């Protein structure tokens, strides 16, 4: 199933039981797979047109009336374009608005540099009270949605919208505010998020072959960080590799560094966008030129393991 | 204008080839501005393909930046770069990305793609040209869906406040955006009255695919002592039947080999006629 189908399905299910949910689009309802909701709930699912700033503050207004708006667009327009509306109308005013951004980072593909958000997590992470969640697969997204609804406050959902292989099984426990462990190991801690989780698991096959057993942890919620589980892993391994589909400034690496430097500094390496702008290309090509392939992860893991603290 | 009509058909062929080679692209909104682009570059733009950064040149800002394939086709025909470049749309290392990029493509005057911003950039360029007193005319093309962005109207007030009579803009009024028709999503009417109320001169071009009508509108705008909005009533996907009949879905379409071949045949016939 595509991520956007899982999103639509879950929104539909929740809208049926909760009359306060509204879904607002800014002319990207079609690519985000939400057109059917507008048909089924004409009062509560609607389009404001190409007007993202308007959308964010309209949502805040509706929230002040007791509604729970989910606003939808591509990640760059869901964050940098409407940063002040999110900061003031939504976060500062303490309104319960959920922000869905699709096509994060390199997954904007042919839409290129203008649509490729490498800074969106960084932009929102420095605004108080916003929960930042990046689902890995449809299982995680579906399990997260009711918890996101239960959380009274702004949540940014940074999601890939197309088909992606499932990493998690339906039986697994999921908690929005805890990390998800993918493999237990002692040689190093790999913290990974979003699209890069699949790539990390691919790298892990190589790492296993050369006898490296990493503690692999999916940080699906980048804010607030699940500090106890991160600390526990790092105390065990003494070395960290972060892997993300975002600028290494402002995203997962930054969040982990900010925390560990104060609590338990250890050698660290990172995979991600090294402070570059986006460009057109398919995901595989972009992974290659930004050095985000499994082989890059393997190389970094070997290197950082050799520098581990304990 | 027979010559220009023929040129428009050639441009449509190039757009089709550009998008068809890749297999997917923003075809609808590229096809709706062909005539405007052709008339501009044939009769009005003071520019030099050999010297794309010429000081005091007229500039064109395509604020609906996803129409890159149309602009690239016209620039290639004008001689800014070879037509072979068109086959590299969105390919690794290309100079022709989906959305217009002033740092990659000779002849592109502003980087666009985040809707609304290009129009303010155009106002800034027109203001700069006024201060330099270099006599340049600044042209801008915005989408009708794009006109829902507040930034469009912020820029329009700035332009009239600063009496930017060197700014000539076009609205590609193809009545469609991604999620539906403009009327279904967020209607613009009365669009001409809106622009007038914002201090602009307005020319309504009933058939935005008629080169003569567009040409007269531009000539009028050049004499106006206000910024001028030329509202082009256009058809999304115009001139290629599979795109035109797709309507709203022509915004971004897969163009496979068969579709490409059929449409090429259609245009080939039109060029001979
Ligand atoms: C700020 C912003 N929001 C959303 C988009 C995504 N987007 C690209 S084209 C488009 C529809 C544009 O419609 P319109 O302006 O009518 O263009 P046209 O019909 O001429 O293709 C949208 C929503 C964008 N590029 N920029
Ligand atoms: Mg349109």
A243-296: per-residue pLDDT in tens?
Answer: 999 999 999 999 999 999 999 999 999 999 999 999 999 999 999 999 999 999
Looking at the fold, whether A44 and A94 belong to one and the same domain comes out as: yes
Q: By C-alpha distance, which of B232, B239, B234 is closest to B267? A: B239
CA distances from A43 to A40, A47, B21 (A): 9, 11, 42
Residue nearest ligand 1's atom 16 by CA: B145
Distant-in-sequence, close-in-space partners of B124: CB < 8 Å, separation ≥ 6:
none
Do the domain assignments include residue A45? yes
Pocket of ligand 1 (CB under 6 A): A 27-28, 50, 52, 77, 81; B 28-29, 32, 64, 66, 113-116, 143-146, 172, 174, 176-178, 236, 251
Segment A132-143 shows an average pLDDT of 98
Residue nearest ligand 1's atom 8 by CA: B66
Rounded to whole angstroms, the Cα distance separating A180 from A166 reads 14
Question: Beta strand pairing status for A221-223 and A131-133?
Answer: antiparallel
Do the domain assignments include residue A175? no
Instruction: Give the residue, out of B177, B186, B209, with the most ligand 1 atoms within 8 A of its beta carbon, to mutate for a pocket test.
Output: B177
Rounded to whole angstroms, the Cα distance separating B211 from B231 reads 14
In DSSP terms, B172 is beta-bridged to B143, B232
B186–A51 CB contact, under 8 Å:
yes
Kindly tell me the burial class for residue A16, based on how many C-beta atoms sit within 10 Å of its own C-beta (0-12, 13-18, 19 or more). Answer: exposed
Looking at the fold, whether A108 and A247 belong to one and the same domain comes out as: no
DSSP state of A32: T
Rounded to whole angstroms, the Cα distance separating B224 from B218 reads 10
Over the stretch B212-224, which tens digit does the pLDDT of each residue have? 999 999 999 999 9
Query: What pLDDT is recorded for position B273?
Result: 65
Q: Which residues form the domain of A297?
A: 180-305
Q: By C-alpha distance, which of A208, A197, A145 is closest to A167? A: A197
CB-based contact A167:A201 (threshold 8 Å): yes
Looking at the fold, whether A150 and A233 belong to one and the same domain comes out as: no
Q: Which residues of A are less than 8 Å from B174 in CB distance?
A: none
Q: Which residues of A touch B (CB under 8 A)?
A: 25, 27-31, 35, 47-51, 53-54, 76-77, 81, 110-115, 279-281, 285, 289
Q: Which of B65, B92, B113 sits opposite A281 (nearest CB)?
A: B92
Q: Which residues of A163-189 are buried (b: 16+ CB within 10 A; e: fewer)?
A: ebeebbeeeeebebeebbebeebebbb
Query: What pLDDT is recorded for position A310?
Result: 61
Query: What pLDDT is recorded for position B2?
Result: 85
Closest Cα in chain A to B176: A27
Looking up residue A155, the CATH number of its domain turns out to be 3.40.50.970
Rounded to whole angstroms, the Cα distance separating A281 from B92 reads 6
Looking at the fold, whether A148 and A197 belong to one and the same domain comes out as: no
Q: Which residues of B are less than 8 Å from A114 in CB distance?
A: 65, 99, 111-114
CA distance B106 to chain A (A): 17
Over the stretch A9-42, which tens digit does the pLDDT of each residue have? 999 999 999 999 999 999 999 999 999 999 999 9
Rg (CA), chain A: 19
Looking at the fold, whether A184 and A154 belong to one and the same domain comes out as: no
Q: DSSP 3-state assignment of B36?
A: helix
Over the stretch B142-170, which tens digit does the pLDDT of each residue have? 999 999 999 999 999 999 999 999 999 99
Q: By C-alpha distance, which of A25, A15, A114, A99 is closest to B180? A: A25
Of the residues B69, B98, B103, B150, the best mutation for testing chain A's interface (the one with the most A CB atoms within 10 Å of its CB) is B98
Two structure tokens written together for B218: 């531009």
Percentage of residues of chain A with pLDDT beyond 70: 99
Structure-token match 């932009």, residue found: A123
Do the domain assignments include residue A127? yes
End-to-end Cα spacing for chain A: 43
Segment B19-27 shows an average pLDDT of 97
B186–A48 CB contact, under 8 Å:
yes
B99–A281 CB contact, under 8 Å:
no
CB-based contact A33:A161 (threshold 8 Å): yes
Looking at the fold, whether A110 and A234 belong to one and the same domain comes out as: no
Q: DSSP 3-state assignment of A214?
A: coil
In DSSP terms, B222 is beta-bridged to none
Structure-token match 């922000």, residue found: A99
Alpha carbon of residue B81 to chain centroid:
19
Q: Which residues of A are less than 8 Å from B101 in CB distance?
A: 112-113
Structure-token match 């939808």, residue found: A72
Two structure tokens written together for B93: 């290392």
**Which of A129, A159, A189 is a domain's end point?**
A159
Distant-in-sequence, close-in-space partners of A70: CB < 8 Å, separation ≥ 6:
A11, A21, A22, A23, A24, A97, A98, A99, A100
Looking at the fold, whether A96 and A188 belong to one and the same domain comes out as: no
Query: What pLDDT is recorded for position A20?
Result: 98
End-to-end Cα spacing for chain B: 15
pLDDT, mean over chain A: 98
Q: Which residues of B162-186 are buried (b: 16+ CB within 10 A; e: fewer)?
A: eebbbbbbbbbbbbbbbbbbbeebb
Do the domain assignments include residue A170? no
In total, how many domains does chain A have?
2
B113–A111 CB contact, under 8 Å:
yes
CA of A269 to the centre of ligand 2 (A): 46
Looking at the fold, whether A38 and A94 belong to one and the same domain comes out as: yes
Q: Which of A30, A76, A111 sits opposite B178 (nearest CB)?
A: A30
Instruction: Give the residue, out of A26, A27, A120, with the most ligand 1 atoms within 8 A of its beta carbon, to mutate for a pocket test.
Output: A27
Looking up residue A193, the CATH number of its domain turns out to be 3.40.50.920
Domain covering B2-272 in this structure, CATH number: 3.40.50.970
Query: What pLDDT is recorded for position B1?
Result: 67
CB-based contact B107:B52 (threshold 8 Å): yes
Segment B97-114 shows an average pLDDT of 98
Closest Cα in chain A to B98: A111
Q: Where are the alpha helices (DSSP H) in A74-127?
A: 75-78, 83-85, 120-125
Kindly tell me the burial class for residue B32, based on how many C-beta atoms sit within 10 Å of its own C-beta (0-12, 13-18, 19 or more). Answer: buried
**Which of A109, A126, A159 is a domain's end point?**
A159
CA distance A284 to chain B (A): 11
Instruction: Report ipTM for this prediction.
Output: 0.95
Looking at the fold, whether A14 and A143 belong to one and the same domain comes out as: yes
Do the domain assignments include residue A144? yes
Whole-model pTM: value is 0.97
Of the residues B69, B117, B151, B179, the best mutation for testing chain A's interface (the one with the most A CB atoms within 10 Å of its CB) is B179
Looking at the fold, whether A137 and A235 belong to one and the same domain comes out as: no
In DSSP terms, A133 is beta-bridged to A157, A221
Over the stretch B231-259, which tens digit does the pLDDT of each residue have? 999 999 999 999 999 999 999 999 999 99
Nearest atom of ligand 1 to the alpha carbon of B67:
21
Do the domain assignments include residue A251? yes
Segment A189-193 shows an average pLDDT of 98
Q: Where are the alpha helices (DSSP H) in A117-159?
A: 120-125, 138-150
Distant-in-sequence, close-in-space partners of B90: CB < 8 Å, separation ≥ 6:
A110, A112, A280, A281, B22, B25, B96, B97, B98
Domain residue ranges in chain B: 2-272
| Confidence band, pLDDT 50/70/90 cuts, at residue A189 | very high
Q: DSSP 3-state assignment of B254?
A: strand
């Amino acid at each position: 199933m595509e991520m956007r189908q899982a999103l639509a399905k879950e929104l539909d299910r929740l809208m049926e039981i909760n009359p306060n949910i509204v879904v607002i689009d800014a002319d990207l309802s079609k690519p985000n797979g939400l057109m059917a909701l507008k048909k089924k709930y004409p009062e509560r699912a609607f389009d404001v047109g190409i007007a993202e700033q308007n959308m964010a503050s309209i949502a805040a207004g509706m929230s002040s009336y007791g509604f729970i708006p989910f606003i939808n667009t591509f990640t760059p327009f869901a964050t940098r374009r409407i940063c002040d509306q999110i900061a003031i109308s939504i976060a500062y005013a303490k309104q319960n608005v959920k922000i869905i951004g699709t096509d994060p980072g390199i997954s904007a593909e042919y839409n290129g540099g203008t649509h490729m958000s490498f800074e969106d997590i960084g932009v929102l992470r420095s605004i108080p009270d916003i929960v930042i969640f990046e689902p890995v697969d449809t299982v995680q997204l579906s399990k997260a949605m009711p918890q996101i609804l239960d959380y009274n406050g702004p949540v940014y959902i940074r999601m890939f919208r197309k088909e992606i292989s499932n990493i998690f099984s339906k039986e697994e426990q999921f908690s929005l505010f805890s990390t998800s462990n993918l493999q237990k190991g002692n040689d190093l801690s790999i913290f990974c998020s979003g699209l890069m989780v699949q790539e990390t698991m691919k790298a892990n096959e190589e790492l296993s072959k050369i006898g490296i057993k990493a503690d692999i942890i999916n940080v699906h919620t980048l804010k607030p960080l699940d500090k106890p589980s991160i600390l526990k892993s790092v105390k065990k391994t003494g070395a960290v590799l972060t892997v993300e589909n975002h600028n290494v400034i402002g995203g997962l690496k930054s969040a982990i560094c900010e925390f560990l430097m104060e609590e338990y500094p250890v050698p660290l390496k990172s995979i991600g966008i090294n402070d570059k702008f986006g460009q057109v290309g398919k995901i595989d090509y972009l992974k290659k030129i930004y050095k985000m392939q499994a082989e890059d992860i393997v190389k970094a893991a070997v290197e950082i393991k050799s520098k581990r603290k304990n | 204008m027979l010559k220009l009509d023929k040129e428009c058909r050639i441009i449509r062929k190039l757009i089709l080839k550009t998008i068809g080679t890749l297999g997917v692209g923003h075809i609808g909104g590229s096809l709706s501005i062909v005539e405007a682009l052709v008339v501009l570059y044939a009769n009005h733009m003071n520019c030099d393909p050999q010297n794309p950064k010429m000081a005091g040149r007229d500039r064109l800002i395509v604020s609906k930046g996803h129409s890159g394939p149309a602009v690239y086709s016209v620039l290639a025909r004008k001689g800014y770069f070879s037509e072979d470049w068109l086959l590299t749309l969105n390919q690794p290392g290309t100079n022709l990305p989906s959305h217009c990029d002033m740092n990659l493509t000779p002849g592109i005057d502003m980087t666009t793609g985040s809707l609304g911003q290009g129009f303010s950039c155009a106002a800034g360029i027109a203001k700069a040209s006024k201060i330099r007193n270099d006599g340049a005319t600044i042209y801008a093309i915005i989408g009708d869906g794009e006109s829902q962005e507040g930034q469009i109207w912020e820029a329009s007030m700035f332009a009239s406040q600063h009496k930017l009579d060197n700014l000539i803009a076009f609205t590609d009024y193809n009545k469609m955006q991604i999620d539906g028709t403009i009327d279904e999503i967020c209607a613009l009417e009365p669009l001409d009255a809106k622009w007038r109320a914002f201090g602009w001169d307005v020319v309504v071009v009933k058939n935005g695919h008629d080169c003569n009508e567009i040409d007269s509108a531009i000539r009028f705008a050049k004499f106006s002592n206000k910024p001028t909005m030329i509202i082009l009533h256009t058809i999304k996907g115009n001139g290629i039947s599979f795109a035109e009949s797709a309507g709203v879905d022509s915004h971004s379409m897969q163009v496979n080999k068969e579709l490409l071949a059929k449409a090429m045949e259609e245009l080939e016939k039109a060029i001979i006629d």
